Each structure stands twice: as structure tokens, then as C-alpha cells.
Copies of this chain bind each other. A is one copy, B any other.
Amino acid sequence: MNRSKERPLDRSVTPAAGASGADFLQLDITAAPPGGLADWLAAELRRAVSDGRLPLGSRLPATRTLAADLGVSRGVVTEAYRRLAEDGHTTADGRAGTRVVATPLTVGEAGDGGRTASVAGGVGGVGGRTAAGGGVVGGNAGGTASVVTGVEGGAAGGTGRAGAGRGGGLFDGVPGSDVFDRLRAAPAQVDLSPGAPDLAAFPRGEWLRAERAVLADLPAADLGYGDPRGAPALRREVAAWLARNRGIPADPDDVVIVGGTAQALGLFAQLLAADGIDTLAFEDPGSLGVRQHLVRAGLHTPPVPVDADGLRVDALRASGAPAVLVTPAHQFPTGVVLGGRRRRALMDWAARDGGLVVEDDYDAEHRYDRPPVAALRALLADHVCYTGSISKLLAPALRIGWVLVPARHHDALVEAKRFADLGTATLPQLVLARLMRTGALERQLRLLRRRHRRRRDAMVAAIGEMLPGAVVRGAAAGLHITVTLEAYGAVSDTEVAAAALGHGVKVHPLSWHRQVPGPAGLVLGYAARTPPDITTGVAALARLLTA
């Protein structure tokens, strides 16, 4: 570990039980600005991680201990720890406390010239490199190695120089079924992978208050096995939500609550199989994650091209596929909206040719510079299997979604859900129902829109400034943008993504989401990151692409 007597504070790194935190990092609370204690503390801790006083694998003191010793409220320490966890420096480790798992990106930080150089020194051109060479951000001020090993599962204990590289092999070849788990597990300072809203905005207090109210009134029998369709209270609220926000007239009895879109796709596959359908045409580009689920469920997913107006319905027709999965409100990953003429053509295909549409309405509530687009389900209920979820409104970790299917499939859907898991857990359903009923979810959506828009603007501005050759798509709505990289020569986007991860920035290569080869690009989530993080991440990408 290369710790020496010359750094007398090392003993505070793994404080023994009962050890005072008073000496911890020799923090001087009087240096903190009034009203900015948590900011100050987070910055101090980041600095300590950065300069090696808090090496990889070391543990922070308990929040209670540090708060007492600094003479601040525990909330200040908790908030500072949370920020470190959010930007990937630390991880909560259960009873064992909080552990340092990554060193910060030091690029652009004032007064750290030497470290900036060392980061840049690890960056090469990306044309012919793979991720295996990434991951070394060596030579920091303290003289300790700050390699972040990329072993899946978060075992970041190794501090040797010969790290395996972050997410080693993650971007090689065809992405495996565990690719998103591996990407998530890889440590990084800035996570620009798409798919999450601003998780720091999750209304913890509101959630807890709603849960208290639910528990106060819940009949004990409701803690038993429930309706496989979901709690009646939530089905009622979801029906109202869909009518209000997505233009879909829905009877609560038609709504089925599921464990997120992932489960919905598996249930849909069962309905399709019962109809003898084994082929579900798929947008190209289109979500790799969604397609993996469909393939696992036994479906063929022939690609149908997407252009600036969305799915090419003529190509769908020509393919002869009996069914298609679309993301009409904000196509994943391109962000285009299915145009009016295309919508009519798709509905015509469904109504006249008996085509079945699976509508994945994954982030439609999030829009900034354009009018709302009603769901396809609103137009032709008899031909549309619809799914939406709370993942982009509150948090993916809640694993709650909803489904509407054509009336003839309803009983089979309920049957499939019953045998999947006997129904989704009741308590979180009732809490969510309450947040919907009281208007808290609408407020949350308005809050998210404001925050996401600022983040979107920060990302677009950073790209305009630092990656002027990148073509930005899909910025008018959603939680991510897509950039294509034609201006940067014959780069491989998987290699760019691998190199980026090697330098602490997570992105999706656009080619992950293609079945048919096309221009290299990146899918960049902005909603879950702060503007400074976004700028830092884009700057790292710019260095890789312009090296």
C-alpha cells in the first residue's frame, strides 16, 4: 500500500471502532463557508482521495462519528458521503461503512497541473486501441498508484499498476447478455450511460411520508397474496395518469402492473407465441437491452431502418413481419419522433394488415422543446401492446411498470403475470398510487423536466464547444442524446467507449444498438449527471477523439 510514516494521517483511514475522527484528515471546519458545509466537506474528501490520503479500499469514518467530531449535524456528513458515492468515488459497504473505490478525474481541476498531465499521458488515439490498455491514471502527488481495477462485481481492492483495465473486454465483439451489468459494475468517475433520470432528485421524503400513510391505513389482509393484475388503487391511478399524460383512455381493469418494462417484454412474448408469432420486427438502430430480452424470449428481431421521421413503415411492410416493436414518442437511441404520416401508415398496417404493434413508451413524459405526442395505444387499442414504467419518472430500482394489451389478450396476460411471480409487491404499488393521487408525481416530473433541461443544455453546449464535429440527435426530449462521429474519421465507437471507460467515463457505443452497421456514434445520458460532471465527461471524450 506504500503508506509511510511521513503521512501521519494514514491511521485515520481505517479508524478502529471507537477511534475518534477528530484527527481525520485534519479537517478544519472553520475553513468551511457558512451554508456550504456539505459542499466543503465533499470537496475536502475528494481532494483526499485524489492526493492519496484516502487510498483505494480505505474506509471513511461512520457518519455519526465524523459529525460529532466536526461539530456538524450528521446530515451534513451524510450528504457529503452521498455526493462522493454519486460521483463514483466511494461505495456503501453495508455494516462495514463507506469505502473508496475510485480516484477522481483530475482533469481541469485548479492547481493540479502534474496530475492533469498524467491523465493526459494515459490517453492515446483510439483508432487502433482496445480497452485493455486503459485504466491507468498513474503518478499522483502522493506517490501511490491510483489504478482503478475494472473487475466486475466491484472488487476494487487491487492497487497494483498492472490493473486488468476497467471493464476489460466489455466492448470486444458482440455484447453478451450481462453487458449492462458489467458496465454498471465497472467503476467510473462520470457515468454518461443512458437510461436513468436524475436519481439524486428522487423524492425520498415524499416517498417515506406516503409509505407511512399507506401503512397507517392498510388492512392486514392486503399484506397477503394480492391480485396478480396489481393493486386496484395503483391500476386506478395509472389509468388516470395515462389518460392525462399520454392521451390513452384506459379502464383500470385493463391495466396490469408489472415488474418494469423488462418483465413486460417477457409477458408480451408469451402472448405473441400463443398467436403463433415468433418474429417481432425491430427498429434499427434500436435498444440492445430490449432486443436481448426479446431474443431470450425466443423471438426473431429483423431490423427495420429508422430515419429522421422514425420507423420506415414501408420497409416494415416489405419485411412481412407480423409484429413490430416501436418507441414512437422518442425513438431509442436516435431520439426522433415518429412523424404524423408514418404514424398513420403504421396504424394502417396494423388495422388493415392485422399487424401487431408493441409500443415501448419508455421516456415519453420527458420533453423540452416540442409538443407532446400521444401514444399509439391512444389511436388503435385493439392492435397495440403498450408498456410504460416508473423507471424514468422516479427510479429504475422500483421495478414497477404497467401494461395494456388488446382486449383479446387480456386474460392471457393476467395468466402470464400470475405465473411469473403472483403479482408485483404491494407496498411500493400503494405508495406510488398515493404519489400519483396526491399530485406528488406530477410535481416530480415538473422538477425533473427543469433539471434535465439544464443538463441537456450543458451537454449540448459542451459538445458544441469541445466536440464541434459531433452531430447531436434527439435532444428535444428524453434523458439522453445520440452523437455521430463522422467528422472524426474512421473511428470505432466501441473503441472510443472502451478508451473512455479506461479514463473514467461510461458511454454506450451506438453500434451496440445497431443490427445493421452504420456511422460510429455514442449514446450519452445526461439526466442523471450534474452539469459539471457532464462537462468533465465530454471533455474526456473530446481529448480521446481529438488526440
A contacts, CB < 8 Å to B: 63, 78, 81-82, 85-86, 88, 91-92, 94-95, 177-178, 180-181, 184-185, 191, 195-196, 199-200, 202, 204, 207-208, 211-212, 215-228, 232-233, 236, 259-260, 262-263, 266, 292-293, 296-297, 395-400, 414-415, 418-428, 433, 437, 528
Contact = CB atoms under 8 A, between A and B. Distances in A.
Contact of A202 (B81, B180, B220, B433): B220
A267 B407 CA distance: 29
A71 to B, nearest CB: 20
A199 B223 contact: yes
A208 B199 contact: no
B425 A219 contact: no
Name A's interface SS: helix
Given A217-B92, A293-B419, A296-B419, A395 B223 contact: yes
A396 B228 CA distance: 12
A156 to B, nearest CB: 14
Contacts of A202: 220, 223
A420 B266 contact: yes
A180 B433 CA distance: 25
A422 B260 contact: yes
Given A85-B221, A92-B217, A422 B437 contact: no
A91 B425 contact: no
Given A85-B221, A219-B86, A221-B85, A419 B266 contact: yes
Indicate the member of A86, A223, A224, A423 with the most B CB atoms within 10 Å: A223
12 contacts: A78-B217, A85-B221, A94-B433, A94-B437, A196-B225, A224-B396, A224-B397, A259-B421, A263-B421, A296-B419, A399-B423, A427-B428
A418 B177 contact: yes
A212 B181 CA distance: 28
Contacts of A293: 419
Contacts of A219: 82, 85-86, 91-92
A292 B419 CA distance: 8
Contacts of A185: 227
A426 B86 CA distance: 17
Contacts of A228: 181
A221 B196 CA distance: 9
A121 to B, nearest CB: 29
Given A225-B397, A397-B427, A262 B78 contact: no
Contacts of A259: 259, 420-421, 424-425
A420 B420 CA distance: 8
A14 B94 CA distance: 51
Contact of A399 (B91, B207, B425): B425
Given A199-B221, A224-B395, 8 more contacts: A85-B221, A191-B221, A196-B225, A199-B223, A226-B397, A262-B421, A262-B422, A292-B419
A184 B399 CA distance: 25
Contacts of A177: 415, 418-419
B426 A397 contact: yes
B428 A397 contact: no
A422 B216 CA distance: 31
Contacts of A420: 259, 262-263, 266, 420-421
A31 B207 CA distance: 40
A111 to B, nearest CB: 28
A521 B204 CA distance: 50
Which 5 interchain pairs have the tightest Cβ spacing?
A85-B219, A397-B426, A223-B395, A259-B421, A199-B220
Given A225-B180, A420-B263, A425-B400, A200 B220 contact: yes
A207 B217 contact: no
Contacts of A414: 178
A92 B212 CA distance: 16
A423 B419 CA distance: 17
Contacts of A92: 217-219, 222
Nearest to A264: B421
Contacts of A224: 184, 195-196, 199, 395-397, 528
A260 B421 contact: yes
